[in-house]
Structure 1
Amino acid sequence: MNPLYSLFAISFMLWMGAKQWRRKRLRRAMRDLPTRLQRMLGPEPEYDLPDGDVPEALRAFAAVHRRTAWIQRVATGAALLWLLYILFLFARKQFS
């Protein structure tokens, strides 16, 4: 097996891990809400916030939603940077 495949797997696991981590956090935060507020959210697994102003009772969930989205974007960016590094290694190996 080519070592570049193992390096690619690290990038894929980082991306999937961030995605699953966010889903787990949002699901846990959604379960803590009353049923009336749960029905205001979008479908699973994203649980999008309602359009317009967020009700006062959903402010804590909205904060978790924004914070987890930011963390997921950072982890996805790290995975993309790692993938670019792998492509650089592959190109250097092919053209040297």
Structure 2
Amino acid sequence: MPKLNRDVLNTATPRDVAMASMTVLDRLQDFRPEIQIMGAATVFLTLADHLGIPAQEAFTVTKNLINGDDGKRAEFRGIDAYMKGELA
């Protein structure tokens, strides 16, 4: 099992996380919405398990990164715009 560095997890930059998210979304856009959400959830759950981090912990850290002091960070608002324009 790869070693997950929690310090890096907790200090990830919004830009890096948004870029990784866009990569996944780009590949998911070829599937129906029902498959997109289940595919994304499967990747999340199996990756958390593979890296030995509780899914809820990863979810909480990510939720905190997405939301800045003034609401959703710009990098993640861009992801919202991409989904509205590109996903089924």
TM-score by length of 2: 0.28
Q: Higher strand proportion, which one?
A: 2
Work out which of the two has the higher radius of gyration on C-alpha atoms and give 1 or 2: 1
